[in-house]
Amino acid sequence: MDKSLITFSGYKNNSSALRNLPTVKIYVFSALIAAFGSALVIFLGIKSLFVTVSPIAFYCFLRYKNSLLYFFLAIMPIMISISEGAIISIISYGIALMILASWIFRKLISSDKHIAISQKLTIFILVFMFFCLISVLQNGVNRAELYAIVRLLIFFGLVLALYDMLQWKDTDKIFVAMSLPLIVASYYIISIYLNAGSVVAALSLFRYKATGFIPNANSLGHLLILVVAYWIALSIWSEKRPIRIISWVLALLFSTSLILTNSRSAIFGFMIMVFLFSIWTKKIKQLIAVVFIIIAILVFNPAARNLIGIAFRVDRGSSSREIIWANTTDMIKKNFWLGVGIGNYGNEYDVYYATGWERGFFGRMSHAHNHILSKMAELGIAGLLLALAMYYMPIRSGLNVLKNLKSPKDKVVVYSIIATIGALFARSIFEAGGILQEARLHGDITFWILFVLLLKSEAYLIKSSSGILAKS
């Protein structure tokens, strides 16, 4: 049982406390900051723009609850399109610290000081951080390990704050915020194929993974996995016809774009998602029939088989992941009990480059392209158990929520969250990012947001016999 101090009316107190503060109108405040920021940009350069944006963002988040979180989720595709990882980290952790600071400020000014705490989540974080410290202290802490520990502290601090901040009614806003920029991204990738000029040119684009303004197909596939299940669920079960039509269009748009990324890990996750929806809609027989038809076409039509093989890069195997997995397995054998240290995978992998060409082809290897192998390599046997726990806990919470729900409207959203998490688990066989790859905010936080929503819903349903989350 997940015992929590949950006060679902707490944010009303926060809002009234903010309104009672002696504050100026937001447009006056923003105008003054903008004028000051413009002067800074003129005299100090473009980097000083962060000084301008930060106070405005902080004020907006204080004034309008969760606005900065929605903003962060909406700009994830833009951040991923930035090639410089340092800039992404500065933006991500800058926003994370502002969310944490404003959450603390809200608590200080509110008359209601209760904080919602999940025992499951807190215990997992404490155990995970304990083994992280054990792994880095065995041979002394290097810079990479120290940075990883700091990132994890900020990351898990944000996760705990989100557990207190988020309510079930925020779920729709979260998915909409993530979806809006992906409409533009989907338009770009589909327009590229429509302008290909021929089937051969389109297949060539597919093989070499054209994506539009987001340079990495795997990253775009990951972002699309996060939203497509929500719109599929609404297109199937929404009671309102206009919402069902809009959801159907978006589900088709995002599904098409996901397949066009030719990210095999994302497509595999999408297949698991379709399988789950076929079970929930009792269409499993139809799905099996479609699968058998596709298999029959591939078996009895060599031309189709060759075409599919070329398009999905079968000739290239698993994109050399088998080499990475073999080297990581060897690393695990040498550091079975305590691992090489959290954040230290890249340094330890350096000795496994067989040739200069291989080093140039792979670049710096920061993870094992597999969630379980990455955690085992860094944390040893404890990493295996913790990685499996990250699979088990959300699924169990999701099933508990479904079992206690009575509202069909709430079940629609829970189905979409479980399907999204299931797809992320399938994708994690080939990619370490998306769950907990050294606490990358722009890649991992969404999984934990969905997990937090399930945990909080589970705790609420245990306390309430209504079986309805809409008012929570």
CA distance 416 to 411: 9
CA dihedral (374, 379, 381, 382) positive or negative: negative
pLDDT of residue 216: 83
Say which residues have a Cβ less than 8 Å from residue 370's Cβ, sequence separation at least 6: 321, 325, 328, 428, 429, 430, 431, 432
Among 37, 61, 62, 35, which Cα is nearest to 50's? 37
pLDDT of residue 104: 87
- Number of residues in the chain: 472
pLDDT tens, position by position, 412-424: 999 999 999 999 9
Question: Which token pair is 312?
Answer: 């999905």
Domain layout of the chain by residue ranges: 1-114, 173-312
DSSP string, 297-330: HHHH-HHHHHHHHHHTTGGGTTTTHHHHHHHHHH
CB-count exposure of residue 254 (10 Å: 0-12, 13-18, 19+): buried
Other residues' Cβ atoms within 10 Å of the Cβ of residue 300: 9
3-state secondary structure of 60: helix
Q: Contact, 237 vs 193, CB < 8 A?
A: no
Distance set, CA 294 to CA 298, 304, 308, 315 (Å): 6, 10, 11, 20
Kindly provide the b/e burial profile for residues 195-210, where b requires at least 16 CB atoms within 10 angstroms of the residue's own CB.
Answer: ebeeeeebeebbeebb
Say which residues have a Cβ less than 8 Å from residue 86's Cβ, sequence separation at least 6: none
CA distance 119 to 270: 32
Helices (H), 166-216: 171-194, 199-207
Other residues' Cβ atoms within 10 Å of the Cβ of residue 143: 10
Query: In this structure, what DSSP letter does residue 24 have?
Result: -
pLDDT of residue 66: 85
pLDDT of residue 76: 82
Say which residues have a Cβ less than 8 Å from residue 396's Cβ, sequence separation at least 6: none
Q: At what angle do helices 408-427 and 441-463 cross, to 10 degrees?
A: 140
pLDDT per residue of the chain (472 residues) written in tens, 0 to 9: 444 433 333 333 344 444 443 344 445 555 555 565 556 555 555 455 555 566 666 666 667 778 888 888 888 887 776 655 677 777 788 888 888 888 888 888 877 778 999 999 999 999 999 999 999 998 888 999 999 999 999 999 999 999 999 988 899 999 999 999 899 899 989 999 998 877 778 878 887 787 777 878 888 999 999 999 999 999 999 989 999 999 999 999 999 999 999 898 999 999 999 999 999 999 988 988 988 888 888 778 887 777 677 666 666 555 578 889 999 999 999 999 999 999 999 899 988 887 777 777 777 788 899 999 999 999 999 999 999 999 999 999 999 999 888 878 888 999 999 999 999 999 999 988 889 986 678 789 999 999 999 999 998 887 776 666 655 5
Residue type for 410, please?
A: D
Residue type for 158, please?
A: L
CA distance 398 to 424: 15
Among 188, 186, 262, which Cα is nearest to 224's? 186
CA distance 249 to 437: 33
CA distance 397 to 399: 6
pLDDT of residue 221: 93
Say which residues have a Cβ less than 8 Å from residue 20's Cβ, sequence separation at least 6: none
